[in-house]
Amino acid sequence: MSFEWVSYFHCRNCGLAKSSVDIPYDRLGYAVCPACGVTTGPTVRKVTSELPAF
């Protein structure tokens, strides 16, 4: 029995879920949703607390 890993793309804008093999990528390597055209990119880390003052 063979097993094949399948990676999926999930668009946060329109909710499309599709195999990542069928998704186009921009010149920087970020996925572009074929349904709505939104380009994914790196996420920004949000800091929830401030550093203590010295």
At residue 51 the predicted structure's pLDDT band, cuts being 50, 70 and 90, is low
The Cα 53–Cα 30 span in angstroms is 38
Q: 6 or 23, which is more confident? A: 23
What residue type is 41 in one-letter code? G
pLDDT in tens, 13-33: 999 999 988 899 999 889 999
**C-beta neighbour count of 48 within 10 angstroms:** 4
- Report pTM: 0.65
